[in-house]
Structure 1
Amino acid sequence: MDKKDSVLKLWRECFDDTDQYVDMFFSEVYRDEDALVLEEEGRIVSSMMLQRYTMNFHGVTSSVSYVCGAATAKSLRGHGYMRRLMGHALRESYRRGDILCTLIPAGEWLYHYYGHMGFSPVFYMDKERYTSAHKFRSTGVYSRYYDLSGVEAYGFFNRIMESRPCAVQHTRRQYDEILMDNSADAGAVIALADSHGSPVAMAFAVPDADEVVVKDVLAVDGDSRAAVLAEVLREFAGCPMTVYGYYDAVRDNDNCVVRGMARVVNVEKCLSVIAGRYTDMKLSIRVNDAEIDENNGVYTLADGKCMRNDEYGGELDYDIDVEVFTSIIFGNDVTRRLLDFPAERPFISLMLD
């Protein structure tokens, strides 16, 4: 049995995904080079996908990895196999040149589990709930836009995604995979065009039990956003709707909920980006990382550069482990003000989870 077949067999054993979704994932998304496995006595006992993405981090396009499909054979759980495989994934992410490893835990208890490996819950979203009778008000004139696989549709999608600071981005191929994923979930991607026929709003909606969930909504303004959400309610008539909205620190409120976790895998690269953006910053920081030895050390930021200086004997601004470091780097506006540090809250969506 080859690698792909072994990962597929373990996936089917561990997850309750539909045959349509599994067939789509392993025919269109799966890549051997992204599959990490742990073997015992010639058998794959644990596996995961370490997928490649980018993020616009402080104005710089940086590579990040995304963990999905983390699975261990049911009869072999509790022996630390996933812990070992995750350690390998973090080191592989570092080797690739990523600044960050990301994931969306499948259950609440996993936030605690991944926290032991340096992951921090830094991805948030606005969770909006509407009844089936909700009235969305809009004043513009819009029409349905159907050419979702065309160049213009992806251009609109990519433009809105890139306008979001510190957001995980999707290539054209990944956008196409999102469309296939949505279809496999019996969902609908609903888009609207303006009077010139150009796309101005797009919502990724899937049915879930007795409601419809909008996994992300992209729009040029509030009016077109309201219009496309009204169209979702018409498409899924009689269903209440939950919208996973873009996290906006300016309108941070009680609807803000955790969406996923991240872990810095290359401290020096991460701090170098920040130093280059905030050239007046002066900082001395020691980071401790139990998984990636290369990250252990003292870093000084000055004159727009980050220098590794393990012989540094001066006063430290921070002496922290990688989980706290990640929390500070990707904190919200409260973190920014209290610590006087250019924290930036990241956003993640449409990850085929």
Structure 2
Amino acid sequence: MHEMTSADLKSSVRHLWELCFRDTPEFIDLYFRLRYRDALNEAILRDGQVVSALQLIPYELQTWGARLPLAYLSGVCTHPQARRQGLMRRLLRQTHRRLYAEGCPVSSLIPAEPWLFDCYATSGYAPLFVYDWRRLSIAPGDDTVTVSEYREDSRDVYAYFSRKMAERPCCVLHSEEDFGVVLADLYLSEGSLWVARRDGTVTGLAFCVPTPDVCRIGECLADTPAVARTLVNRACEHTFMQETECLHPVAPDEAGRPLGMLRIIRVADVLALHARTHPDTEACWRISDPDIPENNVCVRLSQGTATPAAPDEGIPTGIGELAARLWSDERPYMSLMLN
């Protein structure tokens, strides 16, 4: 990538994006103005042009009572004329090696098409992030709160948003900078952020986008169900609709819909944290990772520790299977990801 200037690199990545995705010019402008950075870019060049690329957007994954740095692979694409040549597999491999060197423990992505779930599974990703939509109609709410549309930079709104997201046991968290990007995308879609307050204190938020048939709430956070109902009512009134469709986490006994995939980048770090936070776990896994040789280890989890074990003692476990073993019961959740 050193052969290109920064401006040329950005222009080439943008051109590739325009070829591969059906996004509006307005959204692409927003993405390359607020999200794109050369330092976050990972690409393969051919004849001076980018033929495969992605962006590594930094997030945190709250899990097991801790916060793990997480790299979200955004805009993963390959030039139409360069497909079926192994470039995407090569790009992901070099991305995983880079993330390992940078000390990032986990990565995630959202497949753009259903068939890509199987494709990314071959690179070690497990389909762990799930969600569902809940239909909600106008119903009595909480008369003690007032609801207004978010218009100005208000630190108490982000503080509330951050705190409520962090109350979820396994969830991708948004930084304050990313919160600004989320709002910019919301407004681009002619959406609104509704804020519920009681005596000036924030008690609920709803990120709403109108569609021809229903008002969609991409995230609703509230102190009580009654406050959430009041936010739903306001969204319905604003869009002249009788019901909303609200994105929500999935309970352990619910099937849910697949959304995002998770990959372990640094096995030793992840297993050490899991062992500390799950001291009752007794297991021994012989892990295989085709992309990161350092992850090809045999590890025993016992009494809160993760220690090396003899290879013949461990159950053969692929890197994607390991992620599924560790997180399937956690029901990881992500929202407002600009996917």
Report deviation, 1:10: 1.0
Q: CA contact under 8 A between 2:99 and 2:265: conserved in structure 1?
A: yes
> What amino acid sits opposite 2:162 in the alignment?
N
Report deviation, 1:209: 4.7
DSSP-derived class of the 2:168 partner: coil
Structure 2 length normalisation: TM-score? 0.92
CA RMSD of aligned residues (A): 1.8
What are the ranges of 5 or more consecutive residues in structure 2 without an aligned counterpart? 1-6
> Among 210, 234, 241, which residue is 2:213 paired with?
210
Report deviation, 1:93: 2.1
Q: Is it true that 1:167 corresponds to 2:171 in the alignment?
A: yes
> Among 35, 48, 53, which residue is 1:47 paired with?
53
Q: Deviations over 1:291-326 (max 9, x none)?
A: 1111111012234322234xx16643x321111111
Q: CA contact under 8 A between 1:299 and 1:308: conserved in structure 2?
A: yes
For 2:139 and 2:291, the matched residues in 1 are separated by: 49
Please show how residues 252-291 of structure 1 align to structure 2 within 5 Å: 252-253=253-254, 256-291=256-291
Q: 2:3: which partner in 1?
A: none
DSSP-derived class of the 2:299 partner: strand
Report deviation, 1:41: 2.3
For 1:242 and 1:77, the matched residues in 2 are separated by: 37
Q: CA contact under 8 A between 2:138 and 2:242: conserved in structure 1?
A: no
For 1:307 and 1:202, the matched residues in 2 are separated by: 44
Q: 1:18: which partner in 2?
A: 24
Q: Go from structure 1 to structure 2 and tell me whether the alpha carbon gap of 1:266 and 1:209 turns closer, same or farther (over 3 Å shift).
A: farther
Q: 1:320: which partner in 2?
A: 317
Report runs of 4+ in structure 1 exceeding 4 Å deviation.
Answer: none
Please show how residues 96-135 of structure 1 align to structure 2 within 5 Å: 96-130=102-136, 134-135=137-138
Q: Is it true that 1:348 corresponds to 2:338 in the alignment?
A: no
Q: Deviations over 1:50-105 (max 9, x none)?
A: 11111122112110110111111122222221121111122222222222111111
Q: Between Structure 1 and Structure 2, how many residues are aligned?
A: 332
DSSP-derived class of the 2:328 partner: coil
> What amino acid sits opposite 2:225 in the alignment?
G
Q: Go from structure 1 to structure 2 and tell me whether the alpha carbon gap of 1:240 and 1:81 turns closer, same or farther (over 3 Å shift).
A: farther
Q: 2:69: which partner in 1?
A: 63
> Among 234, 237, 261, which residue is 1:234 paired with?
237
Report deviation, 1:120: 1.0
Q: CA contact under 8 A between 1:147 and 1:153: conserved in structure 2?
A: no
Report deviation, 1:187: 1.3
Report deviation, 1:18: 1.7
Q: Deviations over 1:208-250 (max 9, x none)?
A: 453332111111121111111111111211375321112333x
Q: Deviations over 1:12-52 (max 9, x none)?
A: 12212122211111111211111111011222111111111
DSSP-derived class of the 1:349 partner: coil
For 1:179 and 1:262, the matched residues in 2 are separated by: 25
Q: Is it true that 1:32 corresponds to 2:38 in the alignment?
A: yes
Percent identical among aligned pairs is 27
> What amino acid sits opposite 2:139 in the alignment?
F
Q: CA contact under 8 A between 2:147 and 2:231: conserved in structure 1?
A: no
> What amino acid sits opposite 1:322 in the alignment?
I
Q: CA contact under 8 A between 1:56 and 1:165: conserved in structure 2?
A: yes
Report deviation, 1:280: 4.4
What are the ranges of 5 or more consecutive residues in structure 1 without an aligned counterpart? 333-343
For 1:235 and 1:308, the matched residues in 2 are separated by: 59
For 1:11 and 1:209, the matched residues in 2 are separated by: 27
Report deviation, 1:126: 2.8
Structure 1 length normalisation: TM-score? 0.88
Report deviation, 1:155: 0.5
Report deviation, 1:170: 0.8
Q: Is it true that 1:184 corresponds to 2:188 in the alignment?
A: yes
For 1:101 and 1:304, the matched residues in 2 are separated by: 24
For 1:308 and 1:228, the matched residues in 2 are separated by: 52
> What amino acid sits opposite 1:348 in the alignment?
M
Q: Deviations over 1:96-151 (max 9, x none)?
A: 22221111111111111111111111011132134xxx223323422124355311
For 1:204 and 1:275, the matched residues in 2 are separated by: 37
Q: 1:294: which partner in 2?
A: 294
For 1:279 and 1:56, the matched residues in 2 are separated by: 19
